[in-house]
Structure 1
Amino acid sequence: MNLPIHPIMEQSFAVIDREIGGHEFERDEYAIVRRVIHSTADFEFKHLVKFSPNAIASGISALIEGVPIVTDVGMVKQGIAGLLSRTFNNQLISAVSQVEEALPGKTRTETGLLKCYREFPHAIFVIGNAPTALLSLCQEVKNADIKPALIIGAPVGFISVVESKTVLAQTSVHQICVEGRKGGSSVAVAILNALITLACEANSN
């Protein structure tokens, strides 16, 4: 199934194609980067979005196979829900909503994400806000027998953000990461929604 593109989005993509300049992205990588730039109007993401080998293929396969999708916060979940409901039947879970109280020394989002990882270690994890949750997830994944199908690491901010992304980059798991301080819910949503679009194309071939 190929998804229709809204005329305004199509026009925006055309502007990005004209202005992005030279790059070495493969087709599917560019589809994701272009969607991020579309959601932010920030061409710096051309230099910030990084892909581990086979990350996109793993994410596409997981979507088609119905693997659960775990987001750190509700805003990311809501940004994904619309497109997902029209395409695939993957369970969509917001980690922060899975617990009422945080464990000692941890945030509620971090606590919820760890709970989700123990229940769904093979899931797609989408982090757009919570660097502490990403750090804890990476620690859990490091020596685990079952690893996530994909981790999207795009928290935003100043505290623990760069550190969490550095730790993710050193983790042997399929990942799409946004380097530096930039990221956020809209960026994480754009990456996953671009993957859903690519998965729909792959599923129709």
Structure 2
Amino acid sequence: MSDFLTDPAQIERDSMSFIHRHLQKTWKKQELKIVERLIHTTGDLELESVIAIHERAVEAGLQALKQGAPVITDVEMVRAGIAKKALADLGGSAECFLGDPRIPEKAAEWGLTRTMTALRLNKERLNGAIVAVGNAPTALVEVLELAQNPEYRPALIVGIPVGFVGAKEAKDLLWQKQEIPSITVLGTRGGSPLAASAVNALIYLAVGRTV
């Protein structure tokens, strides 16, 4: 075990340095922090080729965070991965609405998934928020549908659902909506850890964390 680093901070710094040296594209300085976090989370350097960051994503995300906007997630796993203490320092909170007791009845009535129903029942909370979708493609589709109304439009959508049914298509639809700032990983790859990592990169930028 003597050959292994045991200092967590040094491990993270070395990891980010390794990633930086192997990047194939030129990213803007703040976008680079998001790219590094996403690759670090997966251990997959090839992920870089499918990372898509809207030209206004970082600006919109940082502005929202510094104004105390909430981070709204599709599932509890994404919420669990958010850097909640740093987010609280900015005046924000991480929220997931799947515990809403109205969901079972309304999901059956509307013929929707639970994640779609949770967002629709709490659509007013989307306005000006950062929405992070890491699990359910249907939740991302619902956010985009709701966002057609300016009263329910997020400041930023981090849409990185995973899977082989609907995930690629939902992310393609997100990326086509260039009027809404977004961060995504195109194709079938994704997941809750990636969605949380992208949001955390923005939170760390907002609080001035260097690594």
Instruction: Confirm whether residue 141 of structure 1 aligns to residue 147 of structure 2.
Output: yes
Task: Output the CA distance in 1 between the equivalents of 2:129 and 2:87.
Answer: 17
Q: Does 2:13 align with 1:13?
A: no
Q: Pick one of 102, 105, 110 that aligns with 2:116.
A: 110
One of 158, 166, 169 as aligned partner of 1:160: 166
Match of 2:4 in 1: none
Distance 1:85 1:167, change over 3 A: closer
CA distance in 1, matches of 2:128, 2:14: 37
Map 1:63-142 → 2, pairs under 5 A: 63-84=65-86, 87-99=89-101, 100-101=103-104, 102-104=106-108, 105-142=111-148
Quote the residue 1:29 is aligned against: 31
Identity of aligned residues (%): 35
Note the C-alpha offset of 1:41.
0.2
State the SS of the aligned residue for 1:66: coil
Q: Is the Cα–Cα contact under 8 Å of residues 87 and 93 in structure 2 kept in the other structure?
A: no
Q: CA deviation at 1:91?
A: 2.4
Report the equivalent of 1:191. 198
Cα 1:131–1:66 shift into 2, 3 Å: same
Q: Residue 86 of structure 2 contacts residue 203 of structure 2 at CA under 8 Å; is this kept in 1?
A: yes
- After TM superposition, the score normalised by the length of structure 2 is 0.86
Structure 2: runs of 5+ lacking an equivalent? 1-7
Long gaps (5+) in structure 1: none
> Which residue type is aligned with residue 32 of structure 1?
I
Amino acid corresponding to residue 114 of structure 2 in structure 1: R
TM-score by length of 1: 0.88
2:135 partner letter: N
Number of residues paired by the alignment? 198
SS at match of 2:163: coil
Letter paired with 1:176: I
Q: How far 1:109 moved relative to its partner?
A: 1.1
Would the aligned equivalents of 2:163 and 2:188 in 1 still touch at CA under 8 Å?
yes
Q: Partner of 2:182 in structure 1? A: 175
For the residue of structure 2 that corresponds to 1:151, the secondary structure is strand
> Distance between the aligned counterparts of 1:178 and 1:79, measured in 2?
18
- Cα distance between partner residues in 2 of 1:45 and 1:71: 22
How far is the alpha carbon of 1:145 from its aligned partner? 4.7
SS in 2 for 1:139: helix
State which drifts further: 7-16 or 149-158: 7-16
C-alpha distance 66-74 of structure 1, shift in aligned 2 (>3 A): same
Give the corresponding residue for 2:53: 51
Identify the range of structure 1 (140-149 vs 58-67) with the bigger mean alpha-carbon deviation: 140-149
* In 2, Cα distance between equivalents of 1:137 and 1:192: 17
Secondary structure of the residue aligned to 1:125 is strand
